Amino acid sequence: MSESDASRRTTVEVSQRQFQFLFAANFDGELSPLSVQAIGNTLEKIDGVRIIDRIHDSGLDVMAAGREPVAGEVVVAEMSWENAMALRATSTKQIIMERNWELRHLGCFAPNFAGPTGATVVAPAPTIRFSVKVLGNNGQPIPRAQVIAYGHGFPVQGETDVEGKVVLAIYASSLIGVEAIYVKPFSDFWEKFIAHPALVPDVDNIVSLESLSAFPQSHFPGNPFIGWGERLMGLDLETMQRYSGKGARVAIIDSGCDNTHPVLTHITKGLDLTDPKLDDLGQARNWQIDTLSHGTHCAGVITGSGVDGMRGFAPEAEVHILKLFPGGRFDVLIRGLKYCIDNQIDVVNCSLGCDQGSELVRLWLNKARQAGVAVVVAAGNSGGPVQFPALVPNVLSVSAIGQAGNFPGDTYHQQTEPSVLPGLVGANGIFAPRFSCFGPEIKLCAPGVAVISSVPGGGYAAWDGTSMAAPHITGLLALIAAHHPAIASMPRDAARVDRMFQVLIDGANSVGLDRMHGGAGIPAIGSTFLAGASTVGQSGVSPDIDAIVGAVLSQMQKLGANPAANAPL
């Protein structure tokens, strides 16, 4: 069938869905593993099994410590569930076989609003249609805004058109059944959350949004603009003049990055890893297309140039964009980690997660550490235990914090504040948001509520999520890799990664949360560069004492002994 014939099809026969699995040799130090070539050859001979990709081993010779299992080549194959179960039943301990699960980014989009407790739907209710029109504070229509309505069933949502209008249909007997409306603009405006909205049928129900600049506590736009989280962590005009991240290599494994954004034009390196069949040209270009906005938002926090816009932590770092979303699975993450090893990346940001684990991903994360790649992972947004891969011991798991006063009260940012319980509410308005995952794996916390950063098209948006927290730590790690005297002379190995993590942890300050939610606390630039300075002499490198002391004293004067003091800044 030709492409033109296929494009004209109006029907398709329903067939059994196919599933993806990962196969690799089990190098556990006790068994004689099968070669990856033998595994691949075996799979190719089985009817109904299709090999999608082969991920070759890293070009660098990375040795595991002691008898620890090592990561090797991976075969990605597609098959029916029946074939998969038959293979699993006959496979031996010489082979690792696991499901190739899809990953998701960890920026909060739709709030988890359950409505009134005890509500029960006995029978399907009639469908009620209503119109919402989203306008800016000057009355201009706001297109591309997501509008979500919550009732007694599943939430419904739609996107506003060029006139700022969207029509929603909700299962209810009347509009009284709509328990909440959430409006999230694409850029440049604050979101709005309205509980128990008074809606009227057959008219446009107006929701008016404020521009980001209308809320003075945000300090937006500024020239340069520095977000509340970056200011809390000590990024000010003085530290910006001292530290730029020049010399560090940073990778962002995410949804791509719009490098036409005015503060991201210096980003020139990237690959689209979502499709192994892409040619070099597709890989080299598609990373610049960010349909989810997520990677562009993370990039602004890490490396925004500050030229007539946002300033990130490390604008002069060499940034590599590795596109994983949409649709990225464990195999794409492995390819991204392999790229980081081969290209001697210092720090990689992974604002992603999955409810399922992967032994192969864990092995490749450890291989990255052995190669000197520091991996920062967002903890997750389910409000439960830390998700994979943030729960892997060799990564730096980051939870989110918010701070009261940094967002308008009618936004859902306000709704993320927890009840006043010990360990969840800290000093000076700092809190552990309801969505942030928690557990003993949390090493540090960072700002993740109402974080304003870049989005495609040149605009800015305020987002929540541990996805927004992790880039703050990645950006600070980039400064450590580029400028910290205790790191400069260390070889690229696991000890270097562990030292970088320890410098951050030693430089962290408690914000009054328990360790399950906040880890060691939030690091600040000044205290981080002071951490470990007393041991620098062991490597023969002289620290820039004036720079360190000056940065610490400056930050202490602004924030006091507690980095949250006198906030919001």
Instruction: Answer yes or no: is pLDDT of 200 > 80.
Output: yes
Mean pLDDT of 471-497: 95
Cβ contacts of 448 within 8 Å, gap of 6 or more: 229, 399, 400, 401, 402, 433, 436, 464, 465, 466, 467, 468, 469
The pLDDT of residue 60? 61
Tens of pLDDT along 225-267?
999 999 999 999 889 999 999 999 999 999 999 999 999 999 9
Q: What is the CATH topology of the domain spanning 218-559?
A: Rossmann fold (3.40.50)
The pLDDT of residue 534? 43
The pLDDT of residue 219? 94
Question: Which H or E element spans position 331?
Answer: helix 330-342
Question: Which of 64-78, 104-118, 177-191, 364-378 has the least mean pLDDT?
Answer: 104-118
Architecture of the structural domain at 127-209: Sandwich (2.60)
284 within 8 A of 271, measured Cβ to Cβ: yes
pLDDT confidence tier of residue 391, bands split at 50, 70 and 90: very high
Collapsing DSSP to helix, strand or coil, 556 comes out as helix
Q: Which tokens is 552 given? A: 């610490």
Instruction: Answer yes or no: is pLDDT of 54 > 60.
Output: yes
Order of strands, edge to edge, in the sheet holding 127-135? 165-171, 127-135, 204-208
Tens of pLDDT along 498-521?
999 999 999 999 999 999 999 999
CA distance linking residue 527 with residue 3, whole number of Å? 61
pLDDT confidence tier of residue 62, bands split at 50, 70 and 90: low
Query: Which pairs with CB-CB distance under 8 Å and at least 24 residues apart come from 116-125?
Result: 116/179, 119/152, 120/152, 121/152, 121/153, 121/171, 124/171, 125/152, 125/171, 125/172, 125/173, 125/177
- The amino acid occupying position 356 is Q
Mean pLDDT for all residues in the chain: 85
Tens of pLDDT along 295-349?
999 999 999 999 999 999 999 999 999 999 998 899 999 999 999 999 999 999 9
pLDDT confidence tier of residue 404, bands split at 50, 70 and 90: very high
Instruction: Answer yes or no: is pLDDT of 278 > 90.
Output: no
Q: What is the largest CA-CA distance in the chain?
A: 76
Query: Closest Cα to residue 468, out of 35, 205, 176, 105?
Result: 105
Cβ contacts of 524 within 8 Å, gap of 6 or more: 232, 233, 234, 507, 509, 555, 559, 563
Beta strands in 335-476 (DSSP E): 347-350, 352-353, 374-378, 396-403, 430-431, 444-447, 451-455, 459-463
The pLDDT of residue 125? 55
Q: Which tokens is 337 given? A: 């980690």
> Of 475 and 542, which is predicted with more confidence?
475
pLDDT confidence tier of residue 41, bands split at 50, 70 and 90: confident
Tens of pLDDT along 2-19?
445 555 667 878 777 899
Tens of pLDDT along 526-568?
888 876 544 443 333 333 434 433 443 444 344 443 333 333 2
List residues bridging with 463 in a β-sheet. Answer: 451
Cβ contacts of 345 within 8 Å, gap of 6 or more: 249, 250, 251, 320, 339, 373
pLDDT confidence tier of residue 36, bands split at 50, 70 and 90: confident
Mean pLDDT of 42-53: 88
Tens of pLDDT along 346-359?
999 999 999 999 99
Instruction: Answer yes or no: is pLDDT of 373 > 90.
Output: yes
Mean pLDDT of 196-224: 94
CA distance linking residue 229 with residue 301, whole number of Å? 9
Predicted model pTM: 0.86
pLDDT confidence tier of residue 45, bands split at 50, 70 and 90: confident
Query: Closest Cα to residue 446, out of 454, 456, 436?
Result: 436
The pLDDT of residue 8? 63
By DSSP bridging, strand 374-378 and strand 347-350 are parallel
Query: Closest Cα to residue 25, out of 72, 63, 59, 85?
Result: 72
The pLDDT of residue 350? 97
